[in-house]
A and B are shown apart, each in its own frame.
Chain A
Amino acid sequence: MNWISIGSLSDIPRRGARCVATPEGKIAVFRTQDDQVYAIDDHCPHKGGPLSQGIVHGTAVTCPLHNWVISLETGKALGADEGAVRTIPVRVEGERLFIALEALASRAA
């Protein structure tokens, strides 16, 4: 797996997210209250809302457009809604954050 450095943990506010720009669109990288890091496509399965702009609670994010709640762990919509968004592997080495590029490449292929 090809791990690509995207920055450090402190770049992301707790209970917040930052975006990583890729040729295939943005990836949203989340940091939870207890410093776990997750990456998913920045694209709500409902109407494409930018999930990175939502409110982060527990290990979920609420989409800013229509309040779908997406699990950061599985990418799946929680509650009564159905749909899923791609998750991207993340590695944390101390302060440094990496995402797996192969996941990107395999999707491009």
Chain B
Amino acid sequence: MSERLVIIGNGMAPGRMLEHLLEQAPGRYAVTIFNAEPRVNYDRIMLSPVLSGEKAYEEIIIHGDGWYIANNITLYKGHKIVAIDRAAKTVTSDHGVTEPYDKLVIATGSVPFIIPVPGHDLPGVLTYRDLDDVQAMMLAAQSRAKAVVIGGGLLGLEAAAGLNAQGMDVTVLHVMPTLMERQLDPAAGYLLQRAVEQRGIKVITKANTQAITGNGKVGQVELADGTIIPATLVVMAVGIRPNSALAKEAGIAVNRGIVVDAGMRSNDPDIYALGECAEVNGQVYGLVAPLYEMARVAASQLAGNEAAAFVHMDTPTKLKVTGIDLFSLGDFAEGEDRQEIVLRDAAAGVYKRLVLKDDRIIGTVLYGETADGAWFNDLKKKQTDISEMRDTLIFGQSYQGGAPLDPMAAVAALPDDAEICGCNGVCKGKITGAITAKGLASLDDVRAHTKASASCGSCTGLVEKLMVLTIGDKYNPAAVQPMCGCTTLGHDEVRRLIIAKRLKTIPAVMQELEWTTSCGCAKCRPALNYYLVCDWPDDYADDYQSRFINERVHANIQKDGTYSVVPRMWGGVTNAAELRAIADVVDKFEIPMVKVTGGQRIDMLGIRKEDLPAVWADLGQAGFVSGHAYAKGLRTVKTCVGSDWCRFGTQDSTGLGIRIEKFMWGSWTPAKVKMAVSGCPRNCAEATCKDVGVICVDSGYEIHFAGAAGLDIKGTEVLGLVKTEDEALEHIVALTQMYREQGRYLERIYKWAKRIGIPEIKRQIMDDGDKRKAYYERFVFSQKFAQVDPWSERVSGKDKHEFRPMASVGFAQAAE
């Protein structure tokens, strides 16, 4: 019979402890976890990227539901433990569950400190602690109104940056003269304040909050000096205190936190505590590295190794705000026995300061350029005598060998015990050892086996360099394929950041996402142009110079530099007047070739560019508009004659096809979209190899998608059956909008669907009515700006420079 281990709290520290315990003593304990939060274990460090929109909640989950099942762990979600009965050795939750234990681990974490000013309990005052807080902030941010963040420390600044990224007007109030004064000296604090202000965040230091006032909810914040700041949201991020009330009520020794020995054991030998609620040697901890160390110690103790002991460690602080590089470690107060080395480069925004005592580093502050943080940390940890390299120490590791080393050599030169991952305390030797011993070839493998770069991710670059050093070419660093040579970001990251940072022009994207070229290339520019057209339909001005020639002149370029023109024939239906007009145009402009296309249209080939506006003018007279045969957009809806004519037809397939085409024409998509509607399962319109197809049946409309009949051949997947034409249209439009928002440029629907997964698409479009409606409405909104016939615009003179030469020269001489 295994012993019963009960854990109160399901944060990162107990999660890590269980990983160690399952490794060291598998099967020894029957584990039960009570989590006051209604969810699994997620990476709390990454809440800031979730708030700023750079990551999704799903991406920061550490242990999914499957992990608990696979390891036979019972997890009570949303159960808060309200009592510990030490005599009976049981715990009881607020839902009335009582669970006996042999060993109990308390990991209740911390609670945010609330300044007890008047109004602190008004609706609209939030703290920044868990996912619920983040979701509440994101909801409040939708109003794009004003927010005040009280607290200019790590958490407060991350909250401010996140709310700013969500479009709010943010003011940070900080009671001290400079930001992050516990981690930064005043000079670095000043640089940080300037960088924060450059993002449009206001900062007020020496700000003493006196009251939060408002009519039933937050309206403004009042400072002691009389300043009044309007706000609809107030985030308190002034600090945390250990959450030890439960332990105290149970009679366990509590000081600032739950008092434990170096083995993480409280004064009750069967009860352990770890994480932010625990106090070891008079110290409480809030950064992840020491908490993970506690987890390691507690697991060893529970596995029977009583020698395992926690040792105090200094941990570097890093700010997780995209674009601000900051590193701080150790003690940097001034003192008579201390010396300092300072490097300032105001233009580049770089500030570095080393505090020395007896020729040894005791403190480091790096701002703007933090690559040498690991090296300085190593020198400090080992108490290395730096007198020999003192003159060049501040320039970093690269300068210690005379000529600057390349970054790869700098990593190669690090000793095996140099710490690479600060969050998880993983050194270089452990990483390279695991790569070799276990044949690891991907970043995810290394994260799984060593935990390096698995928490905040700021050491990912270093880990990747180690992989290259260890296995050379076998490591493929591009786990995410970059969009093109101008960036290291993949399409999905770029799309997410365009929304998260509200980037609305191509230069803004290139600037903010640190493009390496001045104005991109022929790969990224059309992609960015599409993403901006799709994401900001009302704000973005289409950049024609970033479109491929076909979309710039609304015709298809041919191998000889002439163009082909395809007028729209709704659903493939035409008549005598239209055909006569086409015949006249063909004669008048001596068009050499007329051909029927696979999408039931008529194509006129070999038209000189100069003639295009005149051709369109004549076609326009007959009522034709552009057929968008050149567009990464809706091309054609092919139909059969359906119930109007066909003896087998079950529904009006021609009518539905025309309706879809009239609703959706003009929309831009990641790649071309071809559709078809067949009136019965005989499928004469060949709907089952289209991007989107409909098969009409007696009971309604079967919607298909993700077919292909080009480079790849693939039958469609069935999205679902709907009863009415209206429903069919709504589902098709919503599906297309989902693809528009998620597809990578030039990625056809079938490839997108394979990447996202058919069940997920069905879930969002068929099962989730609210999601479907929201997609539908966003499509309808964007169509307001997209449904303009580009041909008639150009007949009226738009872009006329496109269609005529700038000048003609040399002809007179030739004639002589």
Interface residues, chain A, with chain B CB atoms under 8 Å away:
4-7, 11-16, 18-24, 26, 29, 33-34, 47-50, 53-58, 62, 64-65, 67, 69, 99, 101, 104-105
Q: Enumerate chain A residues within 8 angstroms of B811, measured Cβ to Cβ.
A: 21-23
| Given contact pairs A54-B549, A57-B522, A22 touches B809 in the complex (Cβ within 8 A) | yes
| Given contact pairs A55-B548, A57-B520, A29 touches B525 in the complex (Cβ within 8 A) | no
Interface string of B539-556 (1 = CB under 8 A from A): 000001111111011000
Query: Considering residues B522, B559, B808, B813, which has the most beta carbons from chain A within 10 angstroms of its beta carbon?
Result: B522
Query: Considering residues B518, B544, B559, B807, which has the most beta carbons from chain A within 10 angstroms of its beta carbon?
Result: B807
| Given contact pairs A18-B801, A33-B519, A49-B561, A55 touches B809 in the complex (Cβ within 8 A) | no
**Nearest chain-A residue to B811 (Cβ)?**
A23
Contact A24 B806 (CB under 8 A): no
B242 on interface, CB distance cutoff 8 Å: no
Instruction: Looking at the assembled complex, report how far the CB atom of A41 sits from the nearest CB atom of chain B, in whole angstroms.
Output: 13
Q: Enumerate chain A residues within 8 angstroms of B522, measured Cβ to Cβ.
A: 54-55, 57, 62, 67, 69
Q: Enumerate chain A residues within 8 angstroms of B552, measured Cβ to Cβ.
A: 53
**Nearest chain-B residue to A50 (Cβ)?**
B561
Q: A57 CA to B485 CA in the complex, in Å?
A: 13
Interface residues, chain B, with chain A CB atoms under 8 Å away:
517-522, 525-526, 544-550, 552-553, 557, 559-561, 801, 805-811, 813-814
Q: List 16 A-B contacts (CB under 8 A).
A: A4-B809, A7-B806, A11-B806, A19-B805, A22-B808, A22-B810, A23-B810, A23-B813, A50-B557, A53-B561, A54-B522, A57-B520, A57-B521, A58-B518, A65-B557, A105-B813
Q: Per a CB cutoff under 8 Å, which of B550, B559, B801, B814 touches A47?
A: B559
Q: Other than the known A6-B806, A15-B545, A22-B808, what 8 A-B pairs have Cβ atoms closer than 8 Å?
A: A20-B806, A21-B807, A34-B518, A53-B561, A54-B522, A55-B522, A55-B547, A104-B809
Contact A24 B549 (CB under 8 A): no
| Given contact pairs A13-B801, A16-B545, A58 touches B806 in the complex (Cβ within 8 A) | no
Instruction: Looking at the assembled complex, report how far the CB atom of B546 sits from the nearest CB atom of chain A, in whole angstroms.
Output: 7
Q: Enumerate chain B residues within 8 angstroms of A21, measured Cβ to Cβ.
A: 805, 807-809, 811
Contact A20 B805 (CB under 8 A): yes
**Nearest chain-A residue to B809 (Cβ)?**
A4
Q: Enumerate chain A residues within 8 angstroms of B809, measured Cβ to Cβ.
A: 4, 6, 20-22, 99, 101, 104
Instruction: Looking at the assembled complex, report how far the CB atom of B248 sits from the nearest CB atom of chain A, in whole angstroms.
Output: 65
Contact B806 A29 (CB under 8 A): yes
Q: Enumerate chain A residues within 8 angstroms of B806, measured Cβ to Cβ.
A: 6-7, 11-12, 18-20, 29
Instruction: Looking at the assembled complex, report how far the CB atom of A99 sits from the nearest CB atom of chain B, in whole angstroms.
Output: 8
Q: A99 CA to B810 CA in the complex, in Å?
A: 11
Contact A33 B518 (CB under 8 A): yes
Instruction: Looking at the assembled complex, report how far the CB atom of B158 sits from the nearest CB atom of chain A, in whole angstroms.
Output: 35
**Nearest chain-A residue to B553 (Cβ)?**
A53
Contact A57 B525 (CB under 8 A): yes
Instruction: Looking at the assembled complex, report how far the CB atom of A10 sits from the nearest CB atom of chain B, in whole angstroms.
Output: 10
Q: A6 CA to B560 CA in the complex, in Å?
A: 25
Q: Enumerate chain B residues within 8 angstroms of A14, measured Cβ to Cβ.
A: 545
Q: Enumerate chain B residues within 8 angstroms of A6, measured Cβ to Cβ.
A: 806-807, 809
Query: Considering residues B544, B547, B813, which has the most beta carbons from chain A within 10 angstroms of its beta carbon?
Result: B813
Query: Considering residues A12, A50, A57, which has the most beta carbons from chain B within 10 angstroms of its beta carbon?
Result: A57
Contact B525 A55 (CB under 8 A): yes
Q: Per a CB cutoff under 8 Å, which of A18, A55, A58 touches B526?
A: A55
Contact B805 A18 (CB under 8 A): yes
Instruction: Looking at the assembled complex, report how far the CB atom of B295 sits from the nearest CB atom of chain A, in whole angstroms.
Output: 51
Instruction: Looking at the assembled complex, report how far the CB atom of B205 sits from the nearest CB atom of chain A, in whole angstroms.
Output: 41
Q: Enumerate chain A residues within 8 angstroms of B520, measured Cβ to Cβ.
A: 57
Q: Enumerate chain A residues within 8 angstroms of B517, measured Cβ to Cβ.
A: 57-58
Question: Sorted from nearest, which 8 A-B pairs have the closest CB atoms?
Answer: A62-B522, A18-B806, A23-B814, A15-B545, A53-B549, A21-B808, A55-B522, A6-B807
